[in-house]
Homo-oligomer: A and B are copies of this chain.
Amino acid sequence: MKPETITETIKVACSSCNLRELCMPIGFTSDDMQKLDSVVATRRRIKQGDNLFSNGDSFTSLFAIRTGFFKTCVSAADGREQVTGFQMAGEIIGLDGIVSDYHSCNAVALEDAEVCVMPFANVEDLSREFPQLQRHVHKIMSREIVRENSVMMLLGNMRAEERLAAFLLNLVQRLHARGFSQSELTLRMSREEIGSYLGMKLETVSRAFSKFSDEGIIEVKQRYVRIIEPDALKKIFNPETCT
């Protein structure tokens, strides 16, 4: 590998991005589209294991993931870490930084990644000009609030197997929306990271995987997972609504 600065900048255009439907699904005229392109200043590559931003970094931009996979996590003063989310192509990270002008969590690339850098000043300027963009930004933030509400439900009320079932269903659903298989996936995160997200220890995650596997609900081989009985997973997550 040749030494390169972590930040490689590439000029790009939203108007020609194949993730547009996910990232900025706004009904724009092609004229407006030209202006939208100016939200994105540059692209940036992040190597696996590197941080896109860290707790305490000053906040200037939101990031739209083009390729790759991230986790965001917060840490307590005593070092305990809590993974607060896993993000994939088309999703926006960095919203935590808006309130105080610095980031309060770490965003770590779980595989080599590329993001679109959207200086927040640009986002706000264009939002005032384009009500549809404004609405879209509001929806992205609201969606994150609603997502976190349901994680709180998982952490506060669900048992280990329910949490893992919900986690797997959520992952494949999002991957499927991106054109991947509905039944197969390769986890980009370790058992420990899954556990941190779901509020359980890695051994408990592993045991839950093994249990699902023994019951024929899924096939697991390390980080490869095939969902054999999606309905059984849904039933574990939510016993009431599925028959």
Residues of chain A at the chain B interface (Cβ within 8 Å): 74, 76-82, 84, 95-100, 104-105, 124, 127-129, 131, 134-135, 137-139, 141-146, 148-153, 155-157, 196-199, 238-241
Contact B155 A96 (CB under 8 A): no
Contact A131 B124 (CB under 8 A): yes
Known: A141-B141, A142-B97. A78 touches B124 (CB 8 A): no
Chain B: minimal CB distance from A88 (Å):
18
Known: A78-B238, A82-B156, A155-B155. A149 touches B104 (CB 8 A): yes
Residue from the list B74, B128, B197, B240 in contact with A77, Cβ < 8 A: B240
**Whole-angstrom distance between the alpha carbons of A62 and B27 in the complex?**
25
Contact B127 A134 (CB under 8 A): yes
Known: A127-B128, A134-B128, A239-B78. A152 touches B98 (CB 8 A): no
Assembly stoichiometry (copies): 2
**Whole-angstrom distance between the alpha carbons of A148 and B72 in the complex?**
13
Chain B: minimal CB distance from A224 (Å):
26
Chain B: minimal CB distance from A135 (Å):
7
Contact B155 A199 (CB under 8 A): yes
Known: A138-B141, A142-B98, A199-B156. A238 touches B84 (CB 8 A): no
- The A interface is mostly helix, strand or loop, or mixed, namely helix
Chain B residues with CB under 8 Å of A152's CB are 74, 82, 84, 148, 151-152, 155
Given contacts A124-B131, A156-B199, 15 further A-B contacts (CB under 8 A): A76-B157, A78-B238, A78-B239, A78-B241, A80-B157, A81-B157, A84-B149, A84-B152, A96-B145, A97-B142, A99-B142, A128-B129, A141-B142, A152-B152, A155-B155
Chain B residues with CB under 8 Å of A82's CB are 149, 152-153, 156-157
Chain B residues with CB under 8 Å of A131's CB are 124, 128
Chain B: minimal CB distance from A203 (Å):
16
Which of the listed residues A97, A134, A141 has the most CB atoms from chain B within 10 Å of its own CB?
Answer: A141
Chain B: minimal CB distance from A77 (Å):
5
